[in-house]
Amino acid sequence: MKKIMFIVIALVMITAVVLTGCNTTTPAVEADAPADDAGDAADDATADDATAEEAEMSNLDKSLALNIDSVVGSDGQPLLLDLEKKDVPERPADPDALPEEDPLHWYDMEYAGWGAMDKENIPASPADGSIGKKVIVIINGDHPYLTAYSNGATIAAEAYGMDIQIMSPNWDLNVQNQQVDQAINAKPDMIILIPLDAKAAVTQFRRINDAGVPCIASNMLPEAEAMKYVIGWAGPDDWGQFRMLADVLAEEIGGKGGVAYVQHAPGGSPYFARCWGPLSQFAANYPDIVTLDKQAPGFEADKTKQLVSDWITKFGDELTAIVAADDSAQAIGIIEALKEAGREDVKVIAAGNSKIGMDYIASGELLAISYQSAEADGATPIKMAADWFNGLDVDPVYYLPKHVITQADVADFLPAQW
């Protein structure tokens, strides 16, 4: 019996030793945990260092580090385009004394901003970065082009870290004047304005300037005097691109014929540039091309159609070509009137480049339109503002690139932005 008890006790002791040995292996497993914790702690420390380093970067450094060259618009094309400069001739002693058919008669309008006029009361750049800045953009009206313009401005502002507010007076100058006052009272860091009327723009920009708010003019050119109150201007070279369109049209009609002009809204720079640009180009280079009429029916297809129908009745075969300020609603009215009269022989050029206009180019119903990225038009003054906030040099004038779209290359510009 004693022998059996001895054996039982021995077995119990052996089991205890084995279990104890097993327990001694457990800390070895747990010993790995501090190593993982140390790795996590190192990662956290690295992240904390990066966060601290970023926190130590100034707003200017963060803003300058932003690069929106890869940002694209709704058409998949780069939002910011390669901008152009322009050869500026010597100013005549008295441009107004020259005939309207002379390109230099319009010198102060076409080359506004390029003169020797000194800037007045332009604030110095804060040079503290674009991020967090508030910008108010006042456009000139409701139109699909301006919807795309606003979209481009918004995309660019967000990319530069700026807050943006867009106002539209819907083609009412009195309302735009009120919006200028509202914008001033809001005390933004910048106001960007598309002036409805070139002459009224002088007063508008002076008011903004007197209030000490930095300002950039956009899209439509103001009178030259207004340019002394703004940091700069950005937009399409309407005069240049319509001279290019005029050359395409002149070649198509053999350098002779009668031309009628469907004009833009009166008062704004396109009203002058999209009529007198091609008209003066014809006068200087194609003496056998004559002007039959020029009128501004607005941007309703029905009114434009009636105007063109009247021209067909009045001028008959003398009507060789039509120059239009708009390739959407105006183009619709023009094409419908020509079709109903069986006058598809009349050649038409227009400012572009809407989907309507490009469809007409593809079908051969329009001869040529200008290339004008609406989204780039809106994004470019935002870039100017960002550069100014960042303390970079800003030129007084920036032009969007010029190109004439024809049936040969219209596919390269699809899809349309508006």
What tens digit of pLDDT does each residue of 270-305 get? 999 999 999 999 999 999 999 999 999 999 999 999
**145 with 170, same domain?**
yes
**106 with 217, same domain?**
yes
**295 with 181, same domain?**
no
Cα separation of the two ends of the chain: 105
**220 with 342, same domain?**
no
| 370, 386, 408 - which closes a domain | 370
**388 with 299, same domain?**
no
Q: How confident is the model at residue 51 (pLDDT cuts 50, 70, 90)?
A: low
Structure tokens at 217: 């003019």
**250 with 356, same domain?**
yes
Give residue 144's domain range: 97-236+375-400
3-state DSSP percent of the chain in helix, strand and coil, to 5: 50, 15, 35
Compute the distance between CA of residue 254 and CA of residue 247 in angstroms, rounded to an integer: 10
CB-based contact 183:216 (threshold 8 Å): no
CB-based contact 194:183 (threshold 8 Å): no
**104 with 232, same domain?**
yes
CB-based contact 191:218 (threshold 8 Å): no
Structure tokens at 99: 């005939």
User: Cα separations (Å) of 104 from 32, 99, 239?
Assistant: 84, 9, 12
Coil/strand/helix, residue 5 = helix
Long-range CB pairs of 167-170 (<8 Å, 24+ gap) are 167/136, 167/137, 167/138, 167/139, 168/138, 168/139, 168/140, 168/141, 168/142, 169/138, 169/139, 169/140, 169/141, 169/196, 170/141, 170/142
Q: Residue 192: phi, psi to the nearest 5?
A: -115, 125
Compute the distance between CA of residue 94 and CA of residue 104 in angstroms, rounded to an integer: 9
Q: Which residue has the higher pLDDT, 164 or 40?
A: 164
**Cα pseudo-dihedral 353, 354, 358, 361, rounded to 10:** -70
What tens digit of pLDDT does each residue of 333-360 get? 999 999 999 999 999 999 999 999 999 9
User: How many other CB atoms are found less than 10 A from the CB of residue 291?
Assistant: 16
**218 with 246, same domain?**
no
Compute the distance between CA of residue 193 and CA of residue 175 in angstroms, rounded to an integer: 13
**227 with 101, same domain?**
yes
β-pair type (368-370, 404-405): antiparallel
CB-based contact 128:59 (threshold 8 Å): yes
Residue 59 lies in a domain: no
**250 with 364, same domain?**
yes
Nearest to 366 by CA among 397, 416, 306, 322: 322
State pTM to two decimals.
Answer: 0.82
In percent, how much of the chain has pLDDT > 70?
Answer: 86
What's the CATH code of the domain at 131? Answer: 3.40.50.2300
Residue 15's pLDDT is 37
Q: Quick check: 19 pLDDT over 60?
A: no
Tell me the average pLDDT across 357-375. Answer: 97
Q: Quick check: 36 pLDDT over 70?
A: no
Maximal C-alpha separation, the chain: 139
Amino acid type, 312: I
Compute the distance between CA of residue 348 and CA of residue 368 in angstroms, rounded to an integer: 7
